[in-house]
Structure 1
Amino acid sequence: MTNFVFRRLLLAIPTLWFIASAIFLLSKLMPGAFGSTYLAEQEAGYYSKSDVAARDRNYRQFLQTTGQDQPLFYFSVTSAALPDTLHRVFPERDRDFLKKLSWQYGNPDAAARFFRSLKEMEADLSETERLQVKENLYTMYSHQEPGELQQALAGIAAQLPANSPYQSEVLANGSTLVVSSPGYTYLFPSVQWHGSENQYHRWLAGLLKGSLGTSLRDGRPVATVLGDAIGNTWWLLLASILLATLLAMELAILMVRRSGRVWRSTLLPSLFLLDSVPLFVLAMLLLVLLANPAFLQLFPVYGMGYYNAYDQSWLQQTSQWLQFMALPLICLVLANLPYLTNQFYQAMAAVAGQDYIRTARAKGLPEHLVIRRHMLRNALLPVITLLSDFLPALVAGAVIIETIFAIPGVGRLLIDAVLARDYPVIVGIVVIVAVFRLLSHLLSDLLYALADPRIRSHAS
């Protein structure tokens, strides 16, 4: 059995590495970066040029500190029409503009020169000049076709004074870009080697040292952020799965009895009706019925995490915790009870007609011993597989529940991290869920071995 567990753990390590790497790379391929929306506020016109320049400089320093200005992987395969330093262009609006220029004209060097001269001219404009050329700049950023680009450049030349230091350079680079288009450069691939100075190598080196990175929102380690939130989610999931499993088992035993016809005719339609109610609707109904001053206010609606528990005993803390967690716990149990009960009942009904069950009954054993000692144990094997795959569904439910009931847990943290584009926290949450998923599969294998001695002897 020890060798079996050791082999499973060795197989889990590359699986965990693959899942974590895939999530990290996919998160970096998503559009947008942390802080880019705030930097884009410079277009609103409420700040002076010095404020825009200072904010731009601070943002670039932030990207260098967090390593987001580095290439994503050890190598990259792109089109020959794109500049090799495209990953260093921020914010995303400017990067997309340069990318579209390069794709349109197939000349990355000319596109990069025109882009740099345009940004230098924009930085040198006064507020009055910026308002004068605002429409032409918008046309230039929105349409990169030669006709629209030349028309926007002509409009800028007509509205700005002739002695503008960067105007002639922008016009010259724009004309060069239009006439020097080589055509089908985008059809040719370009392979670039970046070495170990990339975001993935930096993240993987920290992960091997036990670090999940640093949150982009508050600068705290991701492990600390997860540690503050994982307690409520862990106890909520553990208590809900234990209660739902025990209730489903007892209801299935009631229905599988010889005298369980009445229970089947009553419970099965009720469970079917309960299963048809969406989780968020069920949560809203519980809030309206059990946490509403106009009906019954038996439980608090929100406020968990905002009270001071330093001067309370552990009994008072537990009592207060249960008040806030009662409705979320009831909601998760009711949402998962129909499916679990049906699976328990189908598994036990499948073995109810086996020969060893008839033999046990012929020996005169009481029905509760026949069910619990013989029928239940052999029906546990398919249910164990079900419970091992139950964790992702519970985590998805916890995201909805923690958002509705304002519980400071991993689910609510995931929503906040997605909205803020805090990718290190997102990847850390996915890694934690993957670890628990692999551990649940390992636990199911151990439960298989305990439930069936034949599996135990084969594993050893």
Structure 2
Amino acid sequence: MLQYILRRFLLSLPALWLLVTFVFLLSKLLTGTPGEEQMLQENGGYYSKGSTESRQLVYRNYLNRTGQNLPLFYFSIKASPEPDTLHLVYPAHHRTLLKKLYWQYGNPEAVGRYYQSIKALEAALPVAQKASLQPYMDSLYSTTTPEGLKAIAATPSPSWGAQASELTVAATHLAAQQKSYTFLLPSFRWHGTDNQYHSWLIGVIQGNLGTSFRDGRQVSSLLYDAIANTWWLMLASILIAFVVAFELGMLLVMPQSKRLRKVLLPSLFVIDSIPLFLLALLLLVLLASPSFLQLFPVYGMGYHTLTGESWLQRAGVLSQYLALPVICLTLSNIPYLTNLIYRSFSEERKKDYARTARAKGFSERQVIRKQLLRNTLLPTITVLSDALPIIVAGTISIEIIFAIPGMGRLLVDSVLARDYPVVLAIVLVVAAFRVVTYLLADIFYSLADPRIKHAAS
């Protein structure tokens, strides 16, 4: 059995690697980079007090420190005119202009000269004229057609200085030196191991999940602070839902529970029809509002520092804030589990071995608990192993609604801040949790049915 589990674990590692690699590459395809809006904005914010050059210098240092100045992967396939260093150009609208010019004209040297002339003119303009010439400068960073370039070449006044003449020459040269359709020629470029993906992968293998872009803390420290609350929330919900569903399923299959089935099964259907977020809001209004019953605190779990108290006192305080979230997750999973267990018991009690047990004098309760229970566990384990990742996804909305500082809330905050190391670490943890869940399902299969163990060995 141990050999079988080890083999299953090794086979799951490539799938885990492919999943996390896909998420890593997909996250890097999003427009913009982390920190760009905060560091390069001109109006409002801490960095807006400095000059454009100082903001760009701060942003370059930030990219160098976080490794985002490196190529994304071991290789890249791009259009021939597009250089490898395009991702280092900022702000974003400058990068967009250059990409359009590279693709349309296919002349990197002429595009580079034109872009540098725009920047030189912008830097040389007197402060008194910058406000009046701002619409013209905006058009420089958005015009890409040959007709527009010719209009730009005729607009600058000689009174603006030598930079105006250079812009006229560069725009005329770019419009005349157009190389059409060169963007259709792909260019394969090998970057070696000095890239973002390799650095991240080696760090993960060594146990280093990286540093948060948002606050500079270690990602492992952030996960350690958040995973405990999520773990207790999930564990309590799974155990309670599983026990309650089993008891209800065994109760419903009893012959004398006909009236109970008529009431309980429609009620479970109604509960299952309520979306999770709506169920959470209903519980908040009914059980945590002064207008009805204020039995539980609404939020505040992350604002208590329980360092000097005993573990019993900490558990008591923690249970107050986890009560409503646990009730919500439990109610959302009980209908499906109960229906599954009830159907499994109904099928098993019709089989020959169940009738044989009754003929031997066993009561219906003894037949269910001693004869049917083990065979019913197999489909239940399968569904439970598939339901655990769904419960993990459900904790995201629960933690947001109830203000629980767990992994779900950390994931949402990290996505909004484009804190990619934290997002990737959470995806890795969830994927690893799913792999471990399937391995545990295999172990429970062998415990529930020894024939599976013999077949695996």
Deviations 1:150-186 (A, max 9, x none): 435544x14x8331x4332233222222221111111
> Is structure 2 residue 186 aligned with structure 1 residue 204?
no
Letter in 1 for 2:231: W
> Is structure 2 residue 178 aligned with structure 1 residue 166?
no
Deviations 1:379-404 (A, max 9, x none): 22122111111122112111101011
Q: 1:162 to 1:427 in 2, by over 3 A?
A: same
CA distance in 1, matches of 2:49, 2:123: 7
Where does residue 244 of structure 1 map in the other structure?
241
Q: CA deviation at 1:309?
A: 1.3
> Is structure 2 residue 114 aligned with structure 1 residue 117?
no
CA distance in 1, matches of 2:48, 2:4: 66
> Is structure 2 residue 321 aligned with structure 1 residue 324?
yes
Q: CA deviation at 1:441?
A: 0.4
Instruction: Out of 254-263 and 447-456, give the one that drifted further.
Output: 254-263
Where does residue 346 of structure 1 map in the other structure?
343
Q: 1:316 to 1:109 in 2, by over 3 A?
A: same
Equivalent residues of 1:39, 1:91 under 8 A apart:
no
Equivalent residues of 2:4, 2:456 under 8 A apart:
yes
Where does residue 353 of structure 2 map in the other structure?
356
Q: 1:249 to 1:150 in 2, by over 3 A?
A: farther
Equivalent residues of 2:110, 2:173 under 8 A apart:
yes
Instruction: Out of 330-339 and 312-321, give the one that drifted further.
Output: 312-321
CA distance in 2, matches of 1:44, 1:179: 41
> 1:128-143 alignment to 2 at 5 Å?
128-143=128-143
> Is structure 2 residue 192 aligned with structure 1 residue 229?
no
Equivalent residues of 2:118, 2:140 under 8 A apart:
no
Equivalent residues of 2:41, 2:48 under 8 A apart:
no
The TM-score with structure 2 as length reference comes to 0.95
SS for the counterpart of 1:200 is: helix
SS for the counterpart of 1:21 is: helix
Q: 1:16 to 1:126 in 2, by over 3 A?
A: farther
> 1:279-428 alignment to 2 at 5 Å?
279-428=276-425
CA distance in 1, matches of 2:108, 2:16: 39
Q: CA deviation at 1:440?
A: 0.1
Letter in 1 for 2:53: A
CA distance in 2, matches of 1:339, 1:131: 65
Instruction: Out of 274-283 and 33-42, give the one that drifted further.
Output: 33-42
Q: CA deviation at 1:45?
A: 11
Letter in 1 for 2:177: S
CA distance in 2, matches of 1:73, 1:32: 18
Q: CA deviation at 1:304?
A: 1.0
Where does residue 144 of structure 1 map in the other structure?
144
Equivalent residues of 2:122, 2:137 under 8 A apart:
no
Q: CA deviation at 1:120?
A: 3.5
CA distance in 2, matches of 1:410, 1:210: 19
Q: 1:187 to 1:308 in 2, by over 3 A?
A: same
Where does residue 78 of structure 1 map in the other structure?
78
Letter in 2 for 1:65: R
CA distance in 2, matches of 1:231, 1:271: 31
> Is structure 2 residue 266 aligned with structure 1 residue 269?
yes
CA distance in 2, matches of 1:14, 1:109: 43
SS for the counterpart of 1:311 is: coil
Deviations 1:172-213 (A, max 9, x none): 222222221111111111111111111111111111111111
CA distance in 1, matches of 2:257, 2:143: 72
CA distance in 2, matches of 1:184, 1:43: 40
Gaps of 5+ in 1: none
Equivalent residues of 2:40, 2:52 under 8 A apart:
no
CA distance in 2, matches of 1:174, 1:152: 7
Q: 1:196 to 1:368 in 2, by over 3 A?
A: same
> Is structure 2 residue 177 aligned with structure 1 residue 180?
yes
Q: CA deviation at 1:124?
A: 3.9
SS for the counterpart of 2:104 is: helix
CA distance in 2, matches of 1:47, 1:17: 38
Equivalent residues of 2:396, 2:409 under 8 A apart:
yes
SS for the counterpart of 1:190 is: strand
Instruction: Out of 430-439 and 29-38, give the one that drifted further.
Output: 29-38
Instruction: Out of 83-92 and 174-183, give the one that drifted further.
Output: 83-92
Equivalent residues of 1:136, 1:153 under 8 A apart:
no
> Is structure 2 residue 6 aligned with structure 1 residue 9?
no
Gaps of 5+ in 2: none
> Is structure 2 residue 63 aligned with structure 1 residue 37?
no
Percent identity between matched residues is 51
Equivalent residues of 2:153, 2:169 under 8 A apart:
no
SS for the counterpart of 1:85 is: helix
CA distance in 1, matches of 2:45, 2:326: 49
How many correspondences in the alignment? 457
Equivalent residues of 1:49, 1:126 under 8 A apart:
no
Equivalent residues of 1:211, 1:223 under 8 A apart:
yes
Q: CA deviation at 1:243?
A: 0.8
Deviations 1:355-380 (A, max 9, x none): 11111111111211211222121122
Letter in 1 for 2:449: D
SS for the counterpart of 2:188 is: strand
The TM-score with structure 1 as length reference comes to 0.94
Where does residue 64 of structure 1 map in the other structure?
64
SS for the counterpart of 1:76 is: strand
Letter in 1 for 2:397: I
Letter in 2 for 1:205: I
